Amino acid sequence: MKKIALLYNQELEKYKYAEYHPLKRERIIYTMQKIKKYSKGVYENFIAEPASLEEMSLYHGEDYIRYLYEIENDKTKYIPNKYGIGTTDNPYFKGIFSTSAIHIGAVNLAADLIVKENYSDVFYFPGGLHHAKKNQAWGFCFVNDPVYAILRLLNYKKKVLYVDIDAHFCDGVACAFKNNPVNKKDLLIMSFHESGDFLFPGTGYIEENDSINFPLYPGTDDHTYLLNFKKVFDTVFDEFQPDVIIAQIGADSSKFDILSHLDLSLKGYLNIIKIISEKNVNKIWLGGGGYNNKFTSCAWSSAFRLVLGDIKAGDIKHNIKDLKAFNYAEKNYDFLAKNILLKPKLSEHLD
């Protein structure tokens, strides 16, 4: 019997990045609305409480965390571009500290629920901010919650497989465990993403060996993606034999996303979720990217319901209510693609 938890904190809905920014709080709000409205299976809701300053400084530098705290509470302390904050990608915004504290508190709780209370699946859709560096905001991410989830599980002596299907390479996670003896022994980082030749962050090539990388060409469709993903993921899982999987399930690999160029359908996306969900170990699921709010909320709420047992990946008919919004997204795609102001430029993002 699966024991499923959904973590959230409505405080997150108060805050937004800059008006022009493609990362919108609506994607999370719509996801939670759809889950509430359509889910039939049994799950428990938990409020993700903010982490303390001390907990937040476990990976990120104490000075960096203190700076986030200070600039939220006193804007006169804010210095444009310090620690990468104040760029178009990573704007200063009200809630910069509060939201970060909730993200870290959420993944700490997720790890505790997995280990201490044997939850089979713990979901936190606002998380998965896989780009943030130790002392730098990067790629729309201010704190790197996946790193905290990994550290907490390692601290519990668990062997962790981190799998990332976001369209962008998880450079912040790979960087956090670079040259760390734990990497490849008790932790394996695996990423399927659009090649750095075409998309931010411009890294994540096969030969970078901090993580198992599978760069994909623009236009990669369901068939090609799934064929490769199943083969690689099954092999990695069987050989590594993890105790826990952390899955970052960014929905920006879809054909409807406005920032990336992969070609997954909703059905293709859900089949990836199915492959991960069938592994018989406990899992933490983190949201990650997704810049078409309608598609992202369909994809995430459907992923949740698939794990819950409400729907099957291959049977879209069971998912018809979600698809109403999905079709709306399809109709508006051209408009969004033409009118979106911010597309990360590769040249600006190379380390």
Residues within the interface to Zn ion (CB under 5 A): 166-168, 250, 252, 289
**Distance in Å, CB of 141 to Zn ion, minimum:** 10
* CB distance 302 to 271 below 8 Å: no
**Distance in Å, CB of 318 to Zn ion, minimum:** 28
Residue nearest to Zn ion (CB): 289
Rounded Cα distance, 92 and 71, in Å = 9
Q: Which is nearer to Zn ion, 22 or 242 (CB)?
A: 22
**Distance in Å, CB of 73 to Zn ion, minimum:** 30
Q: Please give the backbone phi and psi of residue 130, each rounded to the nearest 5 degrees, phi first.
A: -85, 0
Rounded Cα distance, 25 and 37, in Å = 19
SS3 state of residue 17: coil
User: How many other β-carbons are positioned within 10 Å of the β-carbon of residue 75?
Assistant: 10
Q: Which is nearer to Zn ion, 67 or 225 (CB)?
A: 225
**Distance in Å, CB of 91 to Zn ion, minimum:** 17
Rounded Cα distance, 97 and 103, in Å = 10
Q: Which is nearer to Zn ion, 9 or 253 (CB)?
A: 253
Contacts of 251 (CB under 8 A, 6+ apart): 257, 269, 287, 288, 289, 290, 292, 295, 296, 299, 300
**Distance in Å, CB of 308 to Zn ion, minimum:** 25
Residue 256 structure tokens: 């409807």
Q: At what angle do helices 26-38 and 320-339 cross, to 10 degrees?
A: 170
Q: Which is nearer to Zn ion, 50 or 250 (CB)?
A: 250
Catalytic residue among 130, 131, 168, 349: 131
Q: Which is nearer to Zn ion, 136 or 260 (CB)?
A: 260
SS3 state of residue 78: coil
Burial class (CB in 10 A: 0-12, 13-18, 19+), 29: middle
131 is catalytic: yes
Rounded Cα distance, 42 and 196, in Å = 40
**Distance in Å, CB of 292 to Zn ion, minimum:** 12
Q: Which is nearer to Zn ion, 50 or 290 (CB)?
A: 290
Sheet holding 4-8, edge to edge: 44-47, 4-8, 121-124, 282-286, 244-248, 160-164, 187-194, 212-216
Contacts of 209 (CB under 8 A, 6+ apart): none
Q: Provide the annotated active-site residues.
A: 131
